[in-house]
Structure 1
Amino acid sequence: MNGLVPADGTPLLIGGKLVPGGSGVFATINPATEEVLGHAADASPEDMDAAIAAARAAFDDTDWSRDHAFRAHCVRQLRDAMQAHIEELREITIAEVGAPVMLTSGPQLEGPVADLSFAADLAESYSWETDLGLGETMGISSRRVLRREAVGVVGAITPWNFPHQINLAKIGPALAAGNTVVLKPAPDTPWCAAVLGKLVVEHTDIPAGVLNIVTSQDHSLGARLVEDPRVDMITFTGSTNTGRAVMTGAAATLKRTFLELGGKSAAVVLDDADIAGAAGFTAFSVAVHAGQGCALTTRLVVPRASYDAAVEAAAKAMAGLGAGDPTKPGTICGPLISARQRDRVQSYLDSALREGGRFATGGGRPADRDRGFFIEPTVIAGLDNSATVSQEEIFGPVLVVIPHDGDQDAVRIANESPYGLSGSIWGTDPERVERAVAGVRTGTLGVNGGQWYNADAPFGGYKQSGIGREMGVAGFEEYLETKLVATPA
C-alpha cells in the first residue's frame, strides 16, 4: 500500500527484529469498500511466548527502567518518526479503520502522536524519589525514602476504533515509566499497530525486547498474555464483558490490571438550556466516526416539555450529516469497522422498533451504499431509560432521546446505568449545573460543550466502565510501583 507496508504484509516485532507470523498471514479489510487491503502477520502461540520472553529479558537484564533520560529520548524518537511518516500513516488509518480524513488531524492520528511528548517530558520531570524524613519505631530512628519504579512487563491489549490513540496512550506512558511492553492489537486494525515496528527498528534507539508487537486473528493469544506469570501488568481497552474475562485471567497471578471499558453516557439537558443547541451538538458528536467511541453521549436526556423539539433538532443535525466516504474531507460519519459490527448495530435498531420506539431519522443501511459497512446516523424516540437501546452500548451512530421530569430525575436517569464513563451537562444556572455535575457518577463530564480530552487529563470511568485512569499524570502512575526504603538515621 505504501512504504510502511511490505508487499507480503506487515511483520511482527519481537526481540528487536521484524519477523513473520508463525501462523502465516491474515487479511485486513477496507470497511468502506469491503475490499482486501493486504495482509498482516498472524502470530502463533510460540510467537507470543517469544515476545513475552523478550520483554522479560529486556526489563530484567538492562538498565532501561533506570535510565529516565534515555527513555524520554527514545519516546521522542518514536514521535518524530511517526510525524515524519504522517501522510503514510494517514493513508493507512483512513483505509483500515474507516476513519474520516478530518479526524486524522486530531484524535485518530496527529493528536496522539503529538501526545507522546507529554509522556517523554514526564519521564524527565517526574519526582522519582520523595524524602519522607525521619521516623521512629520502637526507639529506632530511620530515614525513609519513597521510590517510584516501573511495574515490569506490561501486556497491552487494544481495540480497533481509535487504534493510534489507544495504542500510543498505553505504549507512551508505559515505556516512559520504564516498563517493557508486549502489544496485542485488535485483528480488525493490525496495520496501525504493526507499522510501528518498522519505525521502531529503523528510526529509534529503543533496545531489543523493550517494545514487542504481536498481531494475530487468534483472540486466545490475548488470554495467554493475561495469564502468563512473566507479565506484571495488563492494560486493556475494550468491552466490559471482555474486561471481566481479563480480570478473571489476571487473578491467578494477581497481576495489576488497568481496564478502560464500555459506556452509555448521558447528555443531561436542564430546562434552562438552549435545547436545540444541546441536542444538535450531541447528535453531531454521536455521528462522529460512526459512533464508534466509548465515551460518546449516546443518551440525550431532555425536559419532557421540550421533548419533541429536542428530537426534531437532533434528527435535523444527524440527517444533515449522512454516512459517507471517509476519504472525503467533509465526511463526519464513515463506515462501521466490519460486517459483524454493522449487523450488531442493526439488531439494536430492530429491537428499538420491537420495544415501541420510532426513528426520527435513519434506522438502517443508507439507500445509496451497496458496498461498505455503513449505518445511517439514527435518532430513536419514544422510549424510556429501561429500553435495551438505552441500557446497552451500541457502538454505532445511534442516539436515544429520553424525557426527564426535572433536574433530580435527569441525574437519576443518567446514573441508572451499569456504566459511568463520560457525560455532559447543559444549563445556564451555575448552581443547578454544579448540583448536576456533583450528582452524575462518571469519570469525565463536559459542561455546555466543554471538551475534556487532552494528554495531561486523566480518562477513565466509574462502575462497569473500568478500573484506573489513562493519560495525564494519573495514567503515567498506573505503570509504577511504590517502594519504601528505610535506612538508620
Structure 2
Amino acid sequence: MSSLLPTAESRLLIGGKLVPGADGVFDTVNPATEEIIGQAANAGGADMDAAIAAARTAFDDTDWSRDHAFRARCLEQLRTALQAHVDELREITIAEAGAPTMLTRGPQLEGPVADLGYCASLAETYNWETDLGIAEPMGIKSRRVLRREAIGVVGAITPWNFPHQINFAKLGPALAAGNTLVLKPAPDTPWCAAAVGAVIAEHTDIPPGVVNIITSADHTIGARLTVDPRVDMVSFTGSTLTGKAVMAGAATTLKKAFLELGGKSAFIVLDDANLAAAVGVAAFSVCVHAGQGCAITTRLLVPRAAYDDAVQVAAATLSGIVPGDPADPRTICGPLISQRQRARVERYLEIAVAEGGRIVTGGGRPANRERGYYIEPTLIADVANTSTVAREEIFGPVLVVIPYDGDDDAIRIANDSPYGLSGSVWGSDPDRIRRVTEGVRTGTLSVNGGIWYSADAPFGGYKQSGIGREMGIAGFEEYLETKLIAYQA
C-alpha cells in the first residue's frame, strides 16, 4: 500500500478525488517541538461549495442511503484499510495532535478505528421498519409502518483534541445510517483527517461524494455548513460558545443540530472512600493528554474534614507527573496543542491567583522543556465553586480542589455549573453512591473507576454541554429521520 505520510502537503477529498486547496496550503506544527512538519491543503469557499454539492448529489442520485449491506461492507473496508495503515496514522497523530503514544493504542486511534465495526454491524442489523399494527382512526382501518431513513447531507465540524475519535464518532454512524458527509476538521490537526480521506479514496468502495473532507486554516469556513440549505444536519463538537453560533446558524434553515460541547465535570470523593486512591486517580486523570478533554473531571470535591489531606495527595501526584515527549511510550502528559492554547491556560492561572486562589504545585512551564507548548500539571486550592477557574473550561492539566459539607452539598456543588457532561463518584456505601449518581445532573458518570467509554454506549451532556448523544444506538439514531406510512387495510 502507498504511504499516508504527506511528502509535501495533504489533499482535500471532494467528489471522490484528492485535490489541492483553492487557497494554497497552510503549515501544520508539531506542538512538542514547535517545528513545522508539513503543509495541509487550504480550502476556500469554492472548495466547500463543491464538497456540499458532491455530497448532495451522492445522496440524491445514488442508492447509498438504501443499500444497507453495501454500506456495511464499505465501513468494514475502511476499518480494515485504516488498521493496515495504523502505524503511519499513529505517527501523524503523535506529531500533529501531540497525543501520547499510549493513548493512540486506545481512544486516540486504535479504539475509534475498531469501533467502525460496530457501525458496520448496525447498518445491517438495525430494525429499519417497525409494524405498528392496525388501527381505525376516524373509522378507517389502517396498517401503520414506522420507517427510519437517513437525514441526508451531514456537515460534521470537529476539534483537535481527539481528532480520530471524534471524526469517526460522526463519520461512522452517519455513513451507517445512509447519509453523505462533509467533514471539516480543526486547522490544528488537518493531517489526521486528510489521511483518512486518502484511505477512503484509494482503499474503499465508498462512492464519490459520499465522504468529503475539507481542511482549512480558516476557522469560520465550517460555518457555511450550518447555513447552507443543501445540508440537512450539522454535527458539531467543540466549545459551548462556538456551539451556540452553530445552533444559531442551523436555525436559519431549521436543520437539525447535534452539539457535543464543553464540560467542567466534578470528581466527588465521599467520606467513606479510600481518600488517597480516589484523589490520586483524580489528579492522574487531569494530566492525561495534558487535560485536553471535555469530559475530564477538573473539579475535585472532597469532604471538608479531609480537605488538607486531599490537597497534599493531589499535589504529590501532580508533581510526580512530568510533561514529556508524546512519542515516548512512558509519557502521560504531553504538550498543549498550540502557543495560543498554552497562553489561554496561563491566563486562567493568573486569574486564579488574582481571585485569591493558591497554586499548590505547578503553574508554570517545565524547566526541562525549552521547546514545545508544555505546562506543568497544576493544583489550585482555596477557591470557591464561584471562582472563574471552577466554572470555566480551562482545557489544560489543571485541577481545582473544593471542600463540601455532606452528600447533599457535594451534589449541589457538582450541579452548580452551566455544564453537565461527565463526572465521577468514589465511595463504599452502594445506597449513598446511588443517591449521589441520581442527584448529579450530567450525561456520564464513573463510579469507583468504571469506564463509560464504548462504541455501544451513548455519550453526551446535560445543560450547556450539548444537545443529543454520540455513539451507541442513540448516537446512530441522531442521523435518522422518522417516517410513518399508513396503508388502508
Query: TM over 0.5, yes or no?
Result: yes
Q: CA RMSD in A?
A: 0.7
Does residue 51 (structure 1) correspond to residue 66 (structure 2)? The answer is: no
Alignment of 1:146-295 (within 5 A): 146-295=146-295
- The answer to whether the 8 A contact 2:5-2:88 is kept is no
State the shift of 1:342 in Å. Answer: 0.2
Runs of 4 or more, structure 1, over 2 Å off, are 5-8
Query: 2:335 matched to which residue of 1?
Result: 335
Partners of 2:391 and 2:481 lie apart in 1 by 37
Partners of 1:370 and 1:475 lie apart in 2 by 43
Query: 2:142 matched to which residue of 1?
Result: 142
Does residue 70 (structure 1) correspond to residue 67 (structure 2)? The answer is: no
Q: 2:270 corresponds to which letter in structure 1?
A: L
- TM-score with structure 1 length normalisation? 0.99
State the shift of 1:5 in Å. Answer: 3.0
Q: 1:52 corresponds to which letter in structure 2?
A: I
Q: 1:328 corresponds to which letter in structure 2?
A: D
Partners of 2:321 and 2:105 lie apart in 1 by 19
Q: 1:292 corresponds to which letter in structure 2?
A: Q
State the shift of 1:479 in Å. Answer: 0.2
Partners of 1:220 and 1:452 lie apart in 2 by 33
State the shift of 1:24 in Å. Answer: 0.2
Query: 1:111 matched to which residue of 2?
Result: 111
- TM-score with structure 2 length normalisation? 0.99
Q: 1:469 corresponds to which letter in structure 2?
A: R
Determine helix, strand or coil for the equivalent of 2:26.
strand
Determine helix, strand or coil for the equivalent of 1:58.
helix
State the shift of 1:131 in Å. Answer: 0.2
Partners of 2:321 and 2:419 lie apart in 1 by 28
State the shift of 1:455 in Å. Answer: 0.4
Query: 2:122 matched to which residue of 1?
Result: 122
Determine helix, strand or coil for the equivalent of 1:159.
coil
Q: Mind listing any 5+ residue stretches in structure 2 that lack a counterpart? A: none
Q: 1:332 corresponds to which letter in structure 2?
A: I
State the shift of 1:317 in Å. Answer: 1.1
Determine helix, strand or coil for the equivalent of 2:402.
strand
Q: 1:55 corresponds to which letter in structure 2?
A: A
Partners of 2:97 and 2:8 lie apart in 1 by 20
Partners of 2:3 and 2:115 lie apart in 1 by 24
Partners of 2:3 and 2:411 lie apart in 1 by 51
Partners of 1:17 and 1:4 lie apart in 2 by 15
Query: 1:323 matched to which residue of 2?
Result: 323
Partners of 1:3 and 1:382 lie apart in 2 by 52
State the shift of 1:361 in Å. Answer: 1.2
Determine helix, strand or coil for the equivalent of 2:234.
strand
Q: 1:412 corresponds to which letter in structure 2?
A: R
Query: 1:380 matched to which residue of 2?
Result: 380
Partners of 2:315 and 2:120 lie apart in 1 by 44
Q: 2:478 corresponds to which letter in structure 1?
A: E
Q: 1:278 corresponds to which letter in structure 2?
A: A
**Identical-pair percentage:** 73
Determine helix, strand or coil for the equivalent of 2:141.
strand
Determine helix, strand or coil for the equivalent of 1:169.
helix
State the shift of 1:202 in Å. Answer: 1.0
Determine helix, strand or coil for the equivalent of 1:473.
helix
Query: 2:28 matched to which residue of 1?
Result: 28
Query: 1:358 matched to which residue of 2?
Result: 358
State the shift of 1:384 in Å. Answer: 1.3
Determine helix, strand or coil for the equivalent of 1:181.
strand
Determine helix, strand or coil for the equivalent of 1:38.
strand
Partners of 2:201 and 2:393 lie apart in 1 by 39
Partners of 1:357 and 1:198 lie apart in 2 by 49
State the shift of 1:20 in Å. Answer: 0.4
State the shift of 1:7 in Å. Answer: 2.3
Q: 1:128 corresponds to which letter in structure 2?
A: W
Query: 1:436 matched to which residue of 2?
Result: 436
- The answer to whether the 8 A contact 2:376-2:397 is kept is yes
State the shift of 1:6 in Å. Answer: 3.2
Determine helix, strand or coil for the equivalent of 1:220.
coil
Partners of 1:411 and 1:273 lie apart in 2 by 16
Give the stretch that moved more between structures: 267-276 or 153-162.
267-276
State the shift of 1:3 in Å. Answer: 2.1
Q: 2:39 corresponds to which letter in structure 1?
A: H
State the shift of 1:59 in Å. Answer: 0.1
Alignment of 1:386-405 (within 5 A): 386-405=386-405
1:33-68 CA distances to partner (integer Å, 9 max, x unpaired)? 000010000001000000000000000000000000
Partners of 1:5 and 1:129 lie apart in 2 by 43
Determine helix, strand or coil for the equivalent of 1:89.
helix
Give the stretch that moved more between structures: 27-36 or 365-374.
365-374
Does residue 309 (structure 1) correspond to residue 309 (structure 2)? The answer is: yes
Query: 2:448 matched to which residue of 1?
Result: 448
Partners of 1:268 and 1:6 lie apart in 2 by 45
Does residue 467 (structure 1) correspond to residue 472 (structure 2)? The answer is: no
Query: 1:85 matched to which residue of 2?
Result: 85
Aligned residues: 488
Determine helix, strand or coil for the equivalent of 1:66.
coil
Does residue 99 (structure 1) correspond to residue 99 (structure 2)? The answer is: yes
Q: 2:44 corresponds to which letter in structure 1?
A: S
Q: 1:419 corresponds to which letter in structure 2?
A: Y
Query: 1:5 matched to which residue of 2?
Result: 5
- The answer to whether the 8 A contact 2:232-2:256 is kept is yes
State the shift of 1:338 in Å. Answer: 0.1
Partners of 1:398 and 1:301 lie apart in 2 by 14
Partners of 2:466 and 2:206 lie apart in 1 by 31
Does residue 37 (structure 1) correspond to residue 34 (structure 2)? The answer is: no
State the shift of 1:228 in Å. Answer: 0.2
Partners of 1:455 and 1:248 lie apart in 2 by 30
